[in-house]
Structures are given as C-alpha cells and as structure tokens.
Amino acid sequence: MSLEEIATILDKIMEESFEIDPSLLKPEASLVEDLELDSLDAVDLIVAIEKKFGVRVNEEDARSLRTLGDIYHSIEKYVEISDAC
C-alpha cells in the first residue's frame, strides 16, 4: 500500500469520524493545535487505524504521533511489517 493510499484512507477517517474540514488535512497539520483532537479522540483514532489497516499500534508509537504526516508514515511502517509476515 502506497503512502498516498494510506493518506487518502486516513483523511477519509478524519473527515467522517471527527468531522474535520478536508482543507485542514495536510501532512504538517498538528493533531492537537490544528485538528483540535483531544486524548479521547486520539484513542478513537488509534482504534480506527487498527481496524481499517489491520495493524496493532503499540502505545509508545501512539504517544509519539504529533502530526498527520507522522500517522501516515507510522501506518506505512506497520503495513509493511504486516505484509512481510
């Protein structure tokens, strides 16, 4: 799965689940400052990612995610590992 495909899927999750304006969905967008996600939203987002991409995000990685781009690249890494298994 390409990074562009991952971004498209994740952006759709952000729009539908968190009602975020698509114009705000840029790789450099901060999850807290720009997208205004709180800690409960972050948990919901991780659950949505795990379900949609069939991966398991560990807690340390989840805590390090600050921007939408961080999430794109993290998912890419998890999908590559999953595909290799």
Q: Over the chain, what is the mean pLDDT?
A: 92
pTM: 0.88
More confident site: 22 or 79? 22
**What total number of domains does the chain contain?**
1
Q: Name beta bridge partners: 68.
A: none
Across residues 35-39, what is the average pLDDT? 94
**Looking at residue 62, which CATH number applies to its domain?**
1.10.1200.10
Phi-psi sector, 10: left (phi>0), alpha (psi -120 to 50), beta: alpha
If you search the block for the tokens 């720009």, which residue do you land on?
34
Q: Say if residue 82's pLDDT is above 90.
A: no
Please state, as a whole number, how many other Cβ atoms lie within 10 Å of the Cβ of residue 75: 23
Residue 31 confidence class, pLDDT cut points 50, 70, 90: very high
Fill in the DSSP letter of residue 23.
Answer: G
CA atoms within 13 A on the CB side of 71: 27
73 is in which domain, residue-wise? 3-84
Do the beta carbons of residue 14 and residue 20 sit within 8 Å? yes
The pLDDT assigned to 78 comes to 86
Q: Say if residue 14's pLDDT is above 70.
A: yes
